[in-house]
Chain A
């Protein structure tokens, strides 16, 4: 079962615009992670936010976490065509590193 649900399922924007996607979940988490998957490739880790953190930044990425609402958002600022990919949130809910993935948000950035 998918514990994380991303919204929207698909997003189409122009280069230079910001892209925001959300992840909602139902369980308690240790941390929440975001991954990117380019077409036909493996997943690449982007950023991890722990349950006691509210916001993290990494380059053009900004992640927020609201554990009271059980939701997280990923913001990509000043999007580039190379940001075209699927983005997944993944929940870490136990001590064994098992991740629970959502279905992903497909982002298309047009030049």
Chain B
């Protein structure tokens, strides 16, 4: 099992450019999340999905959009990148909300906006 796979692993964008980060999980997990991690801080939730076709805002959603057209994929989009979006982005998935709530994380995408 690959677990949670993020692509790309690194990216440099110019201000105003757009890009999409892809997260794929092969564990048939229902719930998926996008977090960002900035130096000296814990992870902050951007958006999440509780099932195929659903999305919801997290703590820091501004400037990002998401889609979950297939259960195994969760896409994070930046329509017009800003330097403040320079960060490490992590995708995570969770099996269910009752007894199996531990999160499985991808390896991260390091994004620099110049």
Binding site for B on A (CB under 8 A): 1-2, 4, 30-31, 33, 35, 40-45, 48, 88, 90, 92, 95-104
Contact = CB atoms under 8 A, between A and B. Distances in A.
Contact of B33 (A41, A44, A88, A98): A98
Interface of B: 4, 31, 33, 35, 40-45, 48, 50, 56, 58-59, 90, 92, 94, 97, 101-108
Contact of A96 (B31, B44, B107): B31
Secondary structure dominating the interface of B = strand
Given A102-B42, A103-B41, A43 B90 contact: yes
Contacts, number: 69
A2 B45 CA distance: 11
Contacts of A98: 33, 45, 48, 58
Q: Which 5 A-B pairs have the closest CB atoms?
A: A101-B42, A42-B105, A97-B94, A45-B102, A43-B105
Contacts of A96: 31, 48, 50, 56, 97
Contact of B106 (A42, A88, A97): A42
B42 A104 contact: yes
A33 B92 CA distance: 14
Contact of A95 (B4, B97, B102): B97
Nearest to B96: A97
